[in-house]
Chains A and B, each alone.
Chain A
Amino acid sequence: MDIDYLNLTYRSMPLLMQGAWMTLQVLLAASSISLCVGILLGILTCNRLRSNAIAPFVEVITFILRAVPFYVQLLIVYFVLPDLLNINMEAFTASIIALGLCSSAYTAQVVRCGINSIPTEQWESASTLGYSTPACLRYIIFPQMLRNVLPAITNELDALLKSTAILSSIGLLELTRMGMNIVSREMEPLAIYLTIAVFYVIISGGINLVSRSIEKRFRYVNS
């Protein structure tokens, strides 16, 4: 019995690896969108730089993205958006857009709070020393903010990874979907679903390792 399980797992490994690769690609692309858009939105809404013309609009957008379930957002991006814009959209593209935008709303909140947590004196000190606002953000605020928000960003990336399983609902051949296909063919869920779980743990472990190593680089206080 055990040997059967091992045998099935071994035979399924190429397909599961394909699924894991797809999951990784989506994760990398979506997390890039999430970080870029999230940082931009976080800057636009932080106390120090918020403008009354833009910030309320951004806040409404991020609120909507956080209020609507990711599954619904995915269905809208995959089924409704192409109709509205009269374009063809592949499942891969729709997945990246939906996942990236949904996650960016949460990242924006984390970044906004991170920037707000930096004492005003740091901004003022940089200003009197001649730093422009972009230079101040780049050299003074971001390095300090990153140290504060890294655990929250890691959590968000973990959540992003788990959300990729929902992409199976639009037929994207990512890890979970690939596993479901194998199970429906082999009628043996135990070995496959456990293997899938191990894959997710390994990917999540990688994210956490990278996060820890970055955290160590920024451990300048009480180190």
Chain B
Amino acid sequence: MLTANSISLKKGPNKIDILSDVTVEIPRGSITLFFGSSGAGKSTLLRCLAQLETTYEGDIYYEQILLKKVPPTKRAHLVSFISQSYALFPHLTVLDNCAQVLQVTAQEKPAIAKQKALDNLASLGMDGYAQSYPHQLSGGQKQRVAIARALTLNPAMLLLDEPTSALDPENTRILSKILCKLRDQGKGIVIATQDMSFVPQVMERAYFMKSGSIASTESRLAQDMQAYASG
């Protein structure tokens, strides 16, 4: 369980509230969505959960572990984050993008790291592109490589920021299937999105965000979703 207790974040010279008093619980083996319009604080919340923002107030725990105090090498085994742009390493092949993580972070031997990375890529149908460079892939393929790379360390939670923003409907459906499969394997999936066509495909638990806070309680969620979708 990933737990955020009273997370608040102010930014900029005027100390504008980006997040205010956000409390959420995200269990493993589920897909949790944060949706809302641009500037609602979804991505910032995910960045806080991934410890890319560290100046927030409040605490974020994985089980009983305070994430702020965990060094990056160990944290990568608990929580992994995929940004909107996927941020693949452009100078490395698809295989090396995944294998190097194991070599550097988990001190795996190159041959073992490459085999594990290849298995991960195969599970997402990307093993045929192992020797390609990221710029030679489509948006959907990059997305799958980013997921394969994030999974190399077998993290308990996977955070995805706007994962469908550059995907067509077919690739969005493929992504939904992959995420559901990962959920079934016991991973906690957390998604920030404003893509209302994607929401029904994966929604199990959802939080509607507005102006940096959780705006919907569970009872009002359907109502808020409908209001948001109809603009």
Contact = CB atoms under 8 A, between A and B. Distances in A.
A128 B52 contact: yes
Given A128-B52, A128-B80, A221 B133 contact: yes
A220 interface: yes
A222 interface: yes
Given A121-B85, A135-B104, A221-B133, A143 B91 contact: yes
A128 B100 contact: no
Contacts of B83: 121, 124-125
A140 B83 CA distance: 17
A155 interface: no
B186 interface: no
Which of A127, A147, A222 is packed against the most chain B CB atoms within 10 Å? Answer: A127
A144 to B, nearest CB: 5
Nearest to B84: A121
B72 A132 contact: yes
Contacts of B89: 122, 125-126, 140, 144
A131 interface: yes
Contacts of A129: 76, 80, 101, 105, 149-150, 153
B52 A130 contact: no
Contact of B104 (A122, A131, A222): A131
B77 interface: yes
Contact of B90 (A126, A128, A132, A221): A221
Interface string A141-182: 001100100000000000000000000000000000000000
B182 to A, nearest CB: 17
Contacts of A92: none
Contact of B87 (A122, A131, A132, A147): A122
A121 B50 CA distance: 13
B81 interface: yes
A185 to B, nearest CB: 54
Given A129-B80, A129-B105, A130-B72, A124 B149 contact: no
Contacts of B210: none
Interface string B181-197: 00000000000000000
Which of B71, B72, B77, B153 is packed against the most chain A CB atoms within 10 Å? Answer: B72
Contacts of B135: 220-222
Nearest to B135: A221
Nearest to B91: A143
A124 B50 CA distance: 10
A121 B87 CA distance: 6
A71 interface: no
A139 interface: yes
B73 interface: yes
Contacts of B73: 130, 132
B75 interface: yes
Given A124-B83, A125-B83, A139-B100, A131 B72 contact: yes
10 nearest interchain CB pairs?
Answer: A130-B76, A130-B105, A125-B87, A121-B87, A128-B81, A130-B73, A143-B91, A129-B101, A135-B104, A130-B72
Interface of B: 50-52, 71-77, 79-81, 83, 85, 87-91, 100-101, 104-106, 133, 135, 149-150, 153
Given A128-B75, A144-B90, 15 more contacts: A124-B52, A124-B81, A127-B52, A128-B50, A128-B51, A129-B76, A129-B149, A130-B74, A130-B106, A131-B72, A139-B100, A143-B91, A144-B89, A221-B90, A221-B133
28 contacts: A119-B85, A121-B83, A122-B87, A124-B81, A125-B83, A125-B87, A125-B88, A125-B89, A127-B52, A128-B52, A128-B72, A128-B80, A128-B81, A129-B101, A129-B150, A129-B153, A130-B73, A130-B77, A130-B105, A130-B153, A131-B72, A131-B104, A132-B72, A132-B73, A143-B91, A144-B90, A147-B91, A222-B135
